[in-house]
Structures are given as C-alpha cells and as structure tokens.
Amino acid sequence: YVAAPLQFLALWLVIWGKMSLGRSFAILPANRGVVTGGAYRYVRHPIYAGYLAGHILFLLSSFSLYNFTVYAIITLFQVHRILREERILALTEEYRDYLGRVRYRLCPGIF
C-alpha cells in the first residue's frame, strides 16, 4: 500500500519533465534545442526517471517473475535509448555544456 501513493510522485515527475520541455515536447524525435530548466536542472532525463520510478514501485506492489522480466527489458531499452540520444545530442556544444552542469541521467548520485 505504500507504493501506490509513491507512484503518484513518479507520475508527477513524468508530468513535470514534460511540462519543463514546453513546446519542445513532441512524439517524433528531432533536435528542438536543449532544455535546461525545470526538472532538467536535476537530471538529464526526468521523464525516463519518472517511468523507471513508476516501474520499480509497481514491482514492489505487484511482484512476479513475469513483471520483473518485462520491466527489466523495458529498462534496458530505455537505457539504450538514453545513451543513443545523448550520443546524438553531444554533437552540439550546447548539450556538451549541459553535460558538464547536470551530471546524472536518471538519479542523482547513481546514474
């Protein structure tokens, strides 16, 4: 029962990340400039961080080997996507400067 209220915090992180993107948010990938404010001041991928937190909290409340396997695969794909996105974005000086200011991708002190 503890995980359910915390899942709202994870959802809030996803929403805050999307709101921080403002007009830069879109479904299709494109270089819309570097967003450095809002949630992006703390981690480089707050939307993915919110997804990951939600997945972990869901697993705490509904653990099964199947759920664990599904979310482990999803997490591997998300990490791959993060690394790919950063490789592309790092071609710009603006993003390289941002990398110097915001050290962590998903969770401060961890990754």
* Spatial CA neighbour of 15 closest among 39, 43, 31, 44: 39
Does the CA dihedral 27-33-38-44 come out positive or negative? positive
pLDDT digits (tens, 9 = 90+) for 18-65: 889 887 877 666 677 899 999 999 999 999 999 999 999 999 889 999
Chain length of the chain: 111
CA 59/CA 62 separation, integer angstroms: 5
The average confidence (pLDDT) of the chain is: 90
76 has a pLDDT exceeding 90: yes
Confidence category of residue 1, pLDDT binned at 50, 70, 90: low
Residue 95: what residue type? Y
How is the chain split into domains, by residue range? 3-22+34-101
